[in-house]
């Protein structure tokens, strides 16, 4: 078995599992957020007529998509979540503390775990060597009650990444390139296993960026084998007990893809599909109205650091607005202490409270008709951040910072650091 | 046997297009369903209850929001035919007991065609073309037969 299959087997009654097999698995955590939890609460309370969640310690609720409450309906949604949390005695409820996936990584996920979340980007936790996937509210309600869920064992794709990272290309550029090659359905129902020296060279932040976007190729799981950097992250987080699974010698993969990042150019995904990816050179000079730095994809300290290094002692163009949203309070505080927030604000950025922000269109940063957004988020679907007549372009933190200076799509290789 | 008119879409129809983020906090699925495919005039102008939604590849890609298949069901979509489905949408729709038909030749179906679906065939009554339907795996069919995953639990 490969490591993915071993984690599934370890959570099932089976000693061995094979791709295609359907198994019931025990869950280590079940996460839901304010876009999906209330529907799950209705199903749990009414359709299932359930009384108690299987383990209050393992049920995590996060308010992040509509915080601070952006409408009366959002406020009612949040109150329904708070009421449910009180009734069930849930100890882990986050209210405006950050994006659910960032908080899960900071406070809950351990290598070797099996987790489901009512959010498609739950696959992010593969960065720590956990298997995690998004499901809908009915599955979440069933999991809250049972503590188990049925799951098909996926085939795995091995993605070997070699080479030295160039200064102006990041994990985001790599994953955009991979999705462009695979297409938006190229990994449907499969596990994407990233490996090789260029992956090992990445810190956890970059690994999370890569795993976060596996769903954009249709994948069920992302997975990166835990190593010394994983152990260091877990040690700092104070969670030192966990299991690590390794590929057997005869581990099987459906296929293997090879990448070399040495000559990776900054990548951009064109509207309105994440796989519509090209080198930045195809877009240079295109005028932009709004720029967003944030989201569970690229709202981490390291992303803010990249942008601040480019924007230090520079001003953003008067024709563009720059919105920066740290992915969690922890990141926000650290970025403040290091002076990154001051640098970004002095350049002209607006800073928003931690949460999904302008990735989701649930709070601020909504686009008007005909506007263009250049963003570090993970989706560029039509109308996702406001008007159906707006356009969304996806890129990495260096590209959005360079573009903020000119107000047009700008290759970060042109900006002196 | 299901019969209905085809409401046709292209590839990669994402869940944001099915139901936008700003509607997910509405108190009921019925209220949300007023916004189903609100930017798609082929739906808003032509859909009547019992029609069949036809998509290309990767139908339902994007978010895990179960509100997407739930509003399709609420509005009375009789079945969804697509060349392929995204994973989470597929699972959510099965959990809600929605009839899904994976048909690699879905692109041959045009808007307004009359379709008939029985146990193992999809027939385009307008063009006369007939397509075999691959049966769902027994495990999933058992869920659909009980009206969704909750029916299976309560068997």
pLDDT at B147: 83
pLDDT at B148: 86
- Residue in A66, A138, A150 nearest the CB of B66: A138
Model confidence over A138-180: pLDDT tens digits? Answer: 999 999 999 999 999 999 999 999 999 999 899 999 999 999 9
Spatial distance between the Cα atoms of A179 and A277, rounded to a whole number of angstroms: 8
> What backbone phi and psi angles, to 5 degrees, belong to A270?
-75, 155
Mind listing the domains of chain A with CATH numbers?
3-243+252-259 (3.30.499.10), 267-414 (3.30.499.10)
- Residue in B24, B39, B153 nearest the CB of A35: B24
Contacts of A34 in chain B (CB under 8 A): 25
Mean pLDDT of A91-111: 98
Query: Domain map of chain B by residue range?
Result: 2-153
Q: Do A47 and B150 touch (CB under 8 A)?
A: yes
Model confidence over A298-352: pLDDT tens digits? Answer: 999 999 999 999 999 999 999 999 999 999 999 999 999 999 999 999 999 999 9
Q: Do A383 and B16 touch (CB under 8 A)?
A: yes
Q: Do A138 and B95 touch (CB under 8 A)?
A: yes
pLDDT at B149: 87
Contacts of A188 in chain B (CB under 8 A): 58, 84, 86-87
Q: Is residue A417's pLDDT more than 70?
A: no
In order along its 155 residues, chain B shows pLDDT tens digits of 999 999 999 999 999 999 999 999 999 999 999 999 999 999 999 999 999 999 999 999 999 999 999 999 999 999 999 999 999 999 999 999 999 999 999 999 999 999 999 989 999 999 999 999 988 889 998 888 888 888 878 75
pLDDT at B155: 58
Contact A263, A393 (CB under 8 A): no
Q: Do B150 and A38 touch (CB under 8 A)?
A: no
What kind and span of H or E run contains B7? strand B2-8
Owner of token pair 């686009």: A367
Q: What is the ipTM of this complex?
A: 0.96
Q: Do A220 and B67 touch (CB under 8 A)?
A: no
pLDDT at B154: 76
Contacts of B59 in chain A (CB under 8 A): none
Contacts of A142 in chain B (CB under 8 A): 149-150, 153
Q: What is the DSSP letter of B25?
A: T
- Residue in B26, B66, B139 nearest the CB of A73: B26
Q: Work out the pLDDT band at A416, boundaries 50, 70, 90.
A: confident
Q: Do A139 and B25 touch (CB under 8 A)?
A: no
Q: Which fold has domain B2-153?
A: Aconitase; domain 4 (3.20.19)
Distance from CA of A278 to the nearest CA of B (A): 18
Q: Work out the pLDDT band at A363, boundaries 50, 70, 90.
A: very high
Residue among A40, A146, A153, A185 with most chain B CBs within 10 A, to mutate: A185
Model confidence over A277-305: pLDDT tens digits? Answer: 999 998 899 999 999 999 999 999 999 99
Spatial distance between the Cα atoms of A6 and A156, rounded to a whole number of angstroms: 12
Average pLDDT score, chain A? 97
Q: For the residues of B34-52, what is the DSSP string, one character each?
A: TTTTTT-HHHHTT--TT-E
């Amino acid at each position: 078995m490969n490591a993915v299959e071993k984690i599934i087997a370890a959570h099932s009654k089976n000693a061995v599992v094979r791709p295609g097999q359907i198994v019931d698995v025990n869950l280590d955590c079940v996460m839901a957020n304010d876009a999906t939890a209330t529907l799950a609460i209705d199903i749990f309370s009414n359709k299932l007529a359930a009384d108690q969640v299987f383990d209050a310690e393992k049920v995590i609720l996060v308010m992040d998509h509509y915080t601070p409450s952006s409408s009366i309906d959002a406020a009612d949604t949040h109150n329904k979540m708070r009421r449910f949390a009180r009734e069930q005695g849930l100890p882990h409820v986050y209210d405006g503390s950050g994006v659910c996936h960032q908080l899960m990584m900071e406070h809950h996920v351990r290598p070797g775990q099996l987790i489901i979340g009512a959010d498609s980007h739950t696959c992010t936790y593969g960065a720590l060597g956990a298997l995690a996937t998004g499901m809908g509210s009915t599955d979440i309600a069933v999991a809250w009650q049972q503590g188990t869920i049925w799951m098909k064992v996926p085939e795995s794709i091995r993605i070997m990444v070699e080479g030295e990272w160039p200064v102006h290309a990041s994990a985001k550029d790599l994953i955009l390139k991979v999705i462009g090659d695979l297409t938006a359905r190229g990994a449907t129902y499969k596990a994407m296993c990233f490996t090789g020296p260029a992956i090992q060279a990445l810190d956890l932040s970059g690994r999370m960026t890569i795993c976060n976007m596996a769903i954009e190729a249709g994948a069920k799981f992302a997975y990166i084998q835990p190593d010394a950097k994983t152990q260091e992250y877990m040690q700092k987080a104070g969670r030192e007990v966990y299991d690590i699974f390794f590929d057997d010698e005869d581990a099987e993969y459906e296929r293997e893809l090879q990448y070399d990042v040495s000559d990776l150019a900054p990548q951009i995904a064109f509207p309105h599909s994440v796989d519509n990816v090209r080198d930045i050179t195809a877009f240079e000079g295109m005028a932009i109205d709004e720029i967003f730095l944030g989201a569970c994809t690229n709202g981490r300290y390291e992303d803010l650091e990249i942008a601040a290094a480019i924007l230090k002692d520079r001003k953003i163009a008067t024709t563009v607005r720059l919105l920066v949203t740290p992915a969690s309070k922890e990141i926000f505080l650290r970025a403040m202490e290091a002076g990154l927030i001051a640098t970004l604000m002095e350049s002209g950025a607006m800073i928003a409270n931690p949460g999904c922000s302008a990735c989701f269109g649930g709070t601020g940063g909504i686009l008007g008709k005909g506007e263009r957004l250049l963003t570090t988020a993970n989706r560029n679907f039509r109308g996702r951040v406001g008007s159906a007549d707006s356009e969304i372009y996806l890129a990495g933190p260096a590209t959005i910072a360079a573009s903020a200076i000119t107000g047009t799509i700008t290759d970060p290789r042109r900006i002196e650091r | 046997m299901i019969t209905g008119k085809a409401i046709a879409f292209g590839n990669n129809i994402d869940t944001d297009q099915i139901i936008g983020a700003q509607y997910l906090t509405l108190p009921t699925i019925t209220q949300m369903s007023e916004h189903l495919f609100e930017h798609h005039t082929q739906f808003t102008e032509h859909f009547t209850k019992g029609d069949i939604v036809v998509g290309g590849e990767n139908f339902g890609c994007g978010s895990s929001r179960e509100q997407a298949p739930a509003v399709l069901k609420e509005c009375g979509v009789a079945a969804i035919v697509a060349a392929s489905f995204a994973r989470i949408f597929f699972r959510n729709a099965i959990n809600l007991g929605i009839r899904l038909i994976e048909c690699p030749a879905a692109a041959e179906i045009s808007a307004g065609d009359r379709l008939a679906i029985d146990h193992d065939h999809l027939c385009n009554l307008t063009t006369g073309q007939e397509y075999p339907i691959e049966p769902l795996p027994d495990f999933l069919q058992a869920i659909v037969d009980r009206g969704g995953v909750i029916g299976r639990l309560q068997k």
